[in-house]
Each structure stands twice: as C-alpha cells, then as structure tokens.
Homo-oligomer: A and B are copies of this chain.
Amino acid sequence: MIPHTSKKHALALDFGGTKLAAGVVNIETGEISALVRKSTPAEQGAQATLQTMLAAGQEAVKRSGLESQILRVGVSFGGPVSKDRTTVLHSHHVADWDGIRLTDQISQVFGIPAYMDNDANAAALGEWHFGAGKGAENMVYIQVSTGVGAGLILNGQLFRGSALAGEFGHIIVQPGGPRCACGRFGCVESLCSGWALARDGKAALREAPLHSPLRELCAGDLDQISAKTVIEACRRGDAQAEAILQRAFTGLAIGIANVVSLFDPDTLVLGGGVTRAQDVLLRFLEPALQEYLHPLSKGRFVLKFSELNGMETLLGAALLA
C-alpha cells in the first residue's frame, strides 16, 4: 500500500488562447516532470481543444512515470470561470466554451478530482508559492500578455470577490482612449496588451517612413507585426514604436498606481510575455511610476518580475485544490 503522503504530484493543465500545456508537477518543489505543449486548435472550437488537451495530459502522465503519485488535476483556464469553479463562463479566443463543466469532464477521464481557476489567479498562486512572490502577505500579480489580467493574494490567500475579481486589464485609465475588446475605451488592456501593441504597430506601419526599423523588421508586411516587432523596433530606435510603448506603459503605470493605492500590497509581480522585454518596459514604466504613484505609495512595495519563465500558470494550476 502506498501511503497517502507519497502522493505529492498534480497533473496541471493550462488552457491558453493560443497554447495548451500539460505537465506533472511536484507540488512541494515545483519541479515539472513532463511537459507537453500543443497549439490551441482555436478555430475548431471548444471540444477539439478539450480533446487535444486530454491527449496532452495523458501523454504527460505516461511520460512522467508518476501516475500512482498524482493526487489531483489542476486546471488553468484562459477566461472567466464560475463562482464554484467547475464551469467555464467564456473564452474570448475559442468558440463554444460557455457553460462547459470542465472539471467534471477532466475528473472523469483521469479518475481523480479536478480543480480549476482562471489563468491570472493560477499564475498568481504559482508566483506566490514558487517564484517572485514567495513570503508576500499582500501581493498583486499582473499579467501582460495577449490580454491583461491580475491575481490578488490578500491577507495570505487568493482573493476572488464574488468570482470575477482581479480584472485589472479592464480598469479604465484613459477615458476616451482606444477601444477595448470589452467594448469600452481606455482600459489598461486597450493600451498595453499584446493585441493592443500589435494593433498600434500595424497602424503605425501605414504611416511609417520608407526606411524605419519597424518597416524593416516586418519587411513591410502588416501581418508580420506583433507586440514583439514593436518592442524590437523600439530597441532599434524607431520613433513610432517608442511613441506606442510610451503610451502603452504609461497606461500600465497608471493602472499600477491605482492598484497600489487600493490594495497597499507589499509585493507587485509583473508577468506575461510583454513583460519579458524588461529593458524596454522599464525604460518607460519607471519614469511613469515616478509620475503617477501616490507620494505615500513610493517605497512601500517591491516591484518584481516573474521568476518562473512562463511556467507560473502551470505551476499555479498544480496548487489548485
């Protein structure tokens, strides 16, 4: 008989809008024993996505050789989930997810309990247990990737409000600013998310000089422009890219200043793809924080970057219970 305490692993499943990941995680050490990644078959809808993920999860379990030690499945979903965290409310990226009781289906397939939360909450948990937020009492984790979200650790536990707390991407910091995916104008996400930077880069290319780093990086092809292109163009001195990122990270700074005024955290962690360009981000973010942070807030919290190399969501999913 295997003693219960030897079951210190979780199968973690991360449903992203563009990527799926599955891995077997040692929940004491954060070690990932098997990692399987797939592209999200977004255009084929929710059921195809789920089947792809289930296959990836089974592959991860098999490759890990730890099947008997896995006590649960932790699921991160890239979108809002129900208050009881059994059911997907919506995905902005993949059709037909609304109302799917995801934990039931996953639990049945693997024969162990399954637990779910949204990706920002999972990533906040991961960063808090294993990464930059270790030891924090009040921590705000801000994720700037394709979209923008946040996970809140308050008084040493994940705070969910009535279910949808932490919608940092949709606080309005520039009324009358660019249109957001939510239909309103000037949300943080409409300014500094991956999709917003790509949108602004494409608009800039239409008016770009004949020779500019932005134009050269994408060979004049609109479809080649992503947030990465804009960031790299800025590194090469592109004036349009600089203006885009100035506006974007000023918006992020105002959002951070507001969150700090409301939560008075000891630790603020930045994660997500866009924040990996720390050099460019800090060039704009630091002076903007100086300008926009409340005088009393300065020096009251530490600003850190994710320390988990993009694994924070998967690691956090493993901790859900």
Chain B contacts for A138, CB-based, 8 A: 161-162, 165
Chain B contacts for A174, CB-based, 8 A: 175
Question: Of B161, B257, B258, B296, which contacts A164 at CB under 8 A?
Answer: B296
Q: Is the CB of B292 within 8 A of A168?
A: no
Number of copies: 2
Chain B contacts for A291, CB-based, 8 A: 184
* A37 on interface, CB distance cutoff 8 Å: no
* A81 on interface, CB distance cutoff 8 Å: no
Chain A 285-303 interface 0/1 with B at a Cβ cutoff of 8 Å (1 = within): 0000001101111001100
How many A residues are at the interface, by size bracket?
35 or more
* Docked pose: A264 CA to B172 CA in angstroms: 15
* A166 on interface, CB distance cutoff 8 Å: yes
Q: Is the CB of B265 within 8 A of A161?
A: yes
Chain A 120-144 interface 0/1 with B at a Cβ cutoff of 8 Å (1 = within): 0000000000000000011000000
Chain B contacts for A166, CB-based, 8 A: 262, 264
* A183 on interface, CB distance cutoff 8 Å: yes
* Docked pose: A288 CA to B178 CA in angstroms: 18
* A182 on interface, CB distance cutoff 8 Å: yes
Specify the chain B residue showing the minimal Cβ separation from A259. Answer: B262
Chain B contacts for A295, CB-based, 8 A: 182-183
Question: Of B80, B137, B159, B264, which contacts A296 at CB under 8 A?
Answer: B80
- Give 6 closest A-B pairs by Cβ, nearest first: A161-B264, A171-B258, A167-B261, A165-B264, A164-B264, A162-B264
